[in-house]
Amino acid sequence: MTKQLGEGYEAAIDTLQQPVKQFNFADLATAYGLANNATSVNGFSAQMAAAELMITSGTNVAIVMDGGWDTHGDRSGSNVRTSR
């Protein structure tokens, strides 16, 4: 096993052995600019909040996508200037 792989395993194990972080929805909502009673995931800020909640609760993988931000194919810049 390589040194880097061994260190990666050690870091992963250390992370998994950390105490569970306490969750406070009001703090999460404030951090992402959401209403304290918001329960729908209907925008990028809400997606980020949901991803943080998943990570805090112990998920191994979370993906947040905001369709349209990758503009590598927009050679003229028109898509960026006219979106949203």
pLDDT in tens, 17-42: 988 777 888 899 999 999 877 778 88
* Residue 3 reports pLDDT greater than 70: yes
Q: Cβ neighbours of residue 71 under 8 Å, at least 6 residues apart?
A: 77, 79, 80
Amino acid making up residue 61: V
Look at the pTM and tell me if it is higher than 0.95. no
d(CA 69, CA 84): 11
Amino acid making up residue 41: V
